[in-house]
Amino acid sequence: MQFSRLLSAVAVLNLSVLLCACATVSPVYKPSTANQAALATIKISNISIGDFTQPSHISDFCRGRGPISPPNGMTFASFVRGALEQEVLGAGGIKSGDSNLILTGKLSEINFSSSHDFFRFLILPNFFNTNGYWNLSLELHSSNGKTLAVNEHYVFYSSFIAHIACNKTAKALPLAVNDLIHKIVINKKFPDLLISRS
């Protein structure tokens, strides 16, 4: 009886959230010490970050609450681009004006779930806990002709309660992008994208 009452209370809370479909905005991206350390081991200079593209349609709706959105009106592609630019800028590799190398990107996949293992909420005492994830796939292209493709499956703790789950999903976006970029900068093929054609 007590368990059914708890289920009813959570259902009512989620229903009330459904009545307010508003965007949940993710935090701004912050460069990581791990990415900066990895970039410090690479000879990186005189490059610029060009355009990044994304699929024409992205399913960004979160449990009836509304879309998950990057901050400052950015698209997901521009958010990833800006994150990479911040990391490279921090490593001293960005050149203003004309550059010998331009890195462009194609965000070929981006999707998320705020309740990947939804039915684990039936197992007490983890009633309010479930896992969510972000899937990101990025193709990075250098003007020297080299390419690099990376994928990130970022798992985070979510919630059965809608507004909490969507907030956690939004907060996980910069962390997922951080890990995506880390896979780029530690990839043994990444330095090949930074070699100017003579």
- 196 and 154 in contact (C-beta within 8 Å)? no
pLDDT score for 144: 93
**Spans of the chain below 70 pLDDT:** 1-21, 93-98, 116-129, 198
Question: Structurally, how many domains does the chain consist of?
Answer: 1
pLDDT at 47: 86
- Residue 134 pairs in a beta bridge with 112, 154
For residue 81, give the CATH number of its domain.
3.40.50
What residues have CB less than 8 Å from 29, skipping those under 6 apart? 79, 82, 83, 86, 174, 177, 178
Distance CA 92, CA 86 (A): 10
**How confident is the model at residue 3, as a pLDDT?**
42
**Which of 68, 162, 61, 172 lies closest to 115, judged by CA?**
162
What pLDDT score does 94 carry? 67
Average pLDDT along the chain: 84
What's the pLDDT score for residue 191?
93
Alpha-carbon span 103 to 17, nearest angstrom = 41
- What are 77's two structure tokens? 């592609």
The DSSP 8-state label assigned to residue 29 in this structure reads P
Give the residue numbers spanning the domain of 89: 2-194
Q: How far apart are CA 62 and CA 165, in angstroms?
A: 8
Q: What percent of the chain has pLDDT over 90?
A: 60
